[in-house]
Structure 1
Amino acid sequence: MLVSLSRAMLALAFAAGMSCCFITAVAAQSLKKMTLVQMHPIMGIGEEVFLYAVPKRLGYFAAEGLDLDIQNSQTGMISAQVLQSNNAQVGTTAAAAVMTVREQGADLVSFFNLKRNAGTFLVVLKDSPIQKLEDLKGKTVGAPSFGAGGGLALKQNLNEIGITPDQYTGISTGAGPSAIAALRSGQIDALVMWDAMLGAAENTGLALRVVNIPLEDRMVGTTLATRKSFASTNTKELAGYCRAMTKGLVFTTANRAAAIRMFWDEFPTTKPATLDDPTALKHSVHIMDRFLEKALQDQPEGARLGEFIKANWENTHAAYVKLGTLKGAEAATDSYTEQVLAACNDFDRAAIVAQANSMGR
């Protein structure tokens, strides 16, 4: 009798275990697969921390019924093309790229304003006499490129205040250590760099001072985009991704250190191999600080995240029409949609902040 009961209990336990495994397998199979494409080629501290690593590690994607993959591309234009070809369903890109491919017949739209400022800085050595853009007349200025991004914004801003390209020397320095070395040695007087590049330079101990590029405050920063047709037929999935990602942003803002550790767990090769853990974490948190400084610039307390700033979209559109990059065939506001913004923000922020605060720093 005891033997029979034992066998029966074992059978029930086995059946329960198989049932559990079956349910887990079914749940895994039922997750909707989506791909996120990024507009830069290398994984590093920046938006990928909260766009992907944090929501994946904390189960935010799974809670929305999603299985996310991530891939990189070279530029915002390439990521826009990847989205339009349906090789990815959501992705980071530039507003100008969205506008450009739309004029070519694509149906891309931005659904979340990822950065309220483009995140580029003009920097000088701390003891430099340069205090404002007008002081660049007769100086040598470096930038990764003067045909796009912060370099282009600086060029346009200088033109606005009456300083033409023949009144300063512009050098395309790229974005690597050699650009910073050129500033340090005095080969250039000022350098345009983006947030992560600035944070990394400061982590070396280089004392820098930021000179404001006012035009940057009037332009669109990095944006999240999708195809309009995908947004129409997969609204639930798009809203679910956006909500999970926005939770990731709130978490990261509340506890950058915990978010970065999750990022390293997800992408181990991004963790600095030559630094001890406390120093690596300190440096990475500083880079994240620089990113969020511009991404959330002038974000109203308690307001929805990802809101579009209409004037900035119109300014960006007008600037690229003037450059000849855009024909101006449609309104700037056609390039974005607020379709899922309410759903993106539909969660308990206090609960996410509490979760973040419960983890180590």
Structure 2
Amino acid sequence: MKLVSGAVAVLCAAATLSACGSDSGSGDSGKSGNLTSVSFAMASPSWNAGFAVMAVVEAEGFYEEEGLKVTTNLFPSATQAAQQVAGGGADLGLMTVEPVAIGHDKDLDLTYFDSYWPKWIYSLQVPEGSDVKSIADLKGKKIGVTAVASSGATFARTAMKLNGMKENAASLVPIGAGAQQINAIKSGQVDALALWDIQYQAVKNAGVTLTPLPVKETADAWGGGFATTRKKLDAKKDVYERFGRAVAKAFVFSQANPEAAIRDLWKLHPETRGSGPEKKAMADAVKVLEVRLEGQGVDSKTVGRIDEAGFTRSLDFLASAGLIKKFPAKDVYTDEMFTAINNFSYDDVAKKAKSAG
């Protein structure tokens, strides 16, 4: 379908072709000394404070604690991360719901085993004072997206279709990430944005006040998480449990000491520090991280839990837009590893975080 901007074609190709663009070579995990090597495809065009948790898991040695040596590679979209996993270029990936759901009908065999985004992360927002008051008002307007093939762009098209509009009723303008997004909205290059939660927080940090355009179909929907192929999960279940547990520890650490988490991010990826006074840089980064920490289940010791009702809500949204045929959520996720992923001392990890200063 045109609505998904070639995502189906890309994913179908991945089922039969070797994936490309990964620095880690083969996606088959193997031994590296006493550690199990794992290649990980993360759907993000760049490192930022919203992924500080994934820096913590490396910087604090949580992968090593679980006997893993993880190589992380970034890919600009969830579709491309899914392609890597389905095509054998990565052992697992972090991705939103759409490519896994779309791939279900194409027998790509992708399945989630751990949550990362407990809520739907995409939305449409406009600058305060805009004459755009509803999705219908977007006709003839310019919507800023990270890329025209991004999940945010797919969301914008889908939201317009569900509101009786043609997918090309508004123009999608690629504005990249970071400062480019802020400049685009401040200068009036775009009339609206189709981004995700942490990107909106970054825009707000820059002094831009935004107003959401409600999309009722995604209220209380699940956002996405870590996925692999069913074949790999069945063959190496223990490896994926250990990966999930390492990430869960990083969530606990980050909630206990968000500033320490940001320092870990800056240490591993100094480009995320930006310029300007450190106090403001830290405050802005913590606000972005806190968006990601919200609702993760650290307090209830349920990190990584996939909510079936929320996942079903996501599938309902995609089905209502004609992107997929409806199927049970558990066709593409498992909760059988949830207990093992949370089998560690939350108190010990929190103490480690607090002692980090």
User: In which range does the TM-score fall when normalised by the shorter chain?
Assistant: 0.7 to 0.9
Taking the TM superposition and a 5 Å limit, the aligned residue runs for 1:209-248 are: 209-248=211-250
| Code of the aligned partner of 2:82 | A
- Residue 265 of structure 1 pairs with residue 262 of structure 2: no
Equivalent-residue separation in structure 1 for 2:136 and 2:318 (angstroms)? 26
Q: CA deviation at 1:158?
A: 5.8
Any unmatched runs of 5+ in structure 1? 1-26
Q: CA deviation at 1:211?
A: 4.5
Is the Cα contact below 8 Å between 1:173 and 1:179 reproduced in 2? no
Q: CA deviation at 1:146?
A: 8.2
**Which residue number corresponds to residue 276 of structure 2?**
275
> Which shifted more, 89-98 or 214-223?
214-223
- Classify 1:217/1:45 alpha carbon distance in 2 versus 1 (closer, same or farther; 3 Å): same
- Classify 1:178/1:212 alpha carbon distance in 2 versus 1 (closer, same or farther; 3 Å): same
Q: CA deviation at 1:38?
A: 0.7
**Number of residue-to-residue matches in the alignment:** 324
> TM-score, with normalisation over the residues of structure 1?
0.77
Give SS of 1:100's match. Answer: helix
Equivalent-residue separation in structure 1 for 2:139 and 2:110 (angstroms)? 42
**Which residue number corresponds to residue 291 of structure 1?**
292
Identity of aligned residues (%): 23
Is the Cα contact below 8 Å between 1:94 and 1:223 reproduced in 2? yes
Give SS of 1:339's match. Answer: coil
Structure with greater helix share of residues: 1
**Which residue number corresponds to residue 6 of structure 2?**
none
Q: CA deviation at 1:191?
A: 2.7
Q: CA deviation at 1:187?
A: 6.1
**Which residue number corresponds to residue 304 of structure 1?**
302
Is the Cα contact below 8 Å between 1:251 and 1:259 reproduced in 2? yes
> Which shifted more, 280-289 or 246-255?
280-289
**Which residue number corresponds to residue 195 of structure 2?**
193
- Classify 1:137/1:232 alpha carbon distance in 2 versus 1 (closer, same or farther; 3 Å): closer
Q: CA deviation at 1:110?
A: 0.2
**Which residue number corresponds to residue 164 of structure 1?**
164
> Which shifted more, 337-346 or 113-122?
113-122
Taking the TM superposition and a 5 Å limit, the aligned residue runs for 1:96-175 are: 96-128=98-130, 133=134, 136=137, 140=141, 142-144=143-145, 149-153=151-155, 156-157=158-159, 163-165=163-165, 170-175=170-175
Of the three residues 342, 347, 350, the one matched with 2:347 is 350
Of the three residues 27, 35, 39, the one matched with 1:31 is 35
Equivalent-residue separation in structure 1 for 2:319 and 2:131 (angstroms)? 35
- Classify 1:344/1:284 alpha carbon distance in 2 versus 1 (closer, same or farther; 3 Å): same
**Which residue number corresponds to residue 336 of structure 1?**
333
Is the Cα contact below 8 Å between 2:128 and 2:210 reproduced in 1? yes
Q: CA deviation at 1:239?
A: 0.8
- Classify 1:183/1:164 alpha carbon distance in 2 versus 1 (closer, same or farther; 3 Å): farther
Equivalent-residue separation in structure 1 for 2:60 and 2:279 (angstroms)? 23
- Residue 43 of structure 1 pairs with residue 47 of structure 2: yes
Query: How well do the aligned residues superpose, as a CA RMSD in angstroms?
Result: 3.1
Is the Cα contact below 8 Å between 1:150 and 1:192 reproduced in 2? yes
Equivalent-residue separation in structure 2 for 1:117 and 1:175 (angstroms)? 24
Q: CA deviation at 1:104?
A: 2.2
Equivalent-residue separation in structure 1 for 2:40 and 2:166 (angstroms)? 42
Equivalent-residue separation in structure 2 for 1:42 and 1:217 (angstroms)? 27
Equivalent-residue separation in structure 2 for 1:346 and 1:221 (angstroms)? 24
Q: CA deviation at 1:154?
A: 5.2
> TM-score, with normalisation over the residues of structure 2?
0.78
**Which residue number corresponds to residue 325 of structure 1?**
323
Deviations 1:126-185, CA, capped at 9 Å, x for gaps: 34576x64784778462417886445445555665xx43279952313244565445435
Deviations 1:166-212, CA, capped at 9 Å, x for gaps: 79952313244565445435565543322232222222222334454
Equivalent-residue separation in structure 1 for 2:41 and 2:215 (angstroms)? 29
- Classify 1:337/1:357 alpha carbon distance in 2 versus 1 (closer, same or farther; 3 Å): same
Give SS of 1:114's match. Answer: strand
Q: CA deviation at 1:58?
A: 1.5
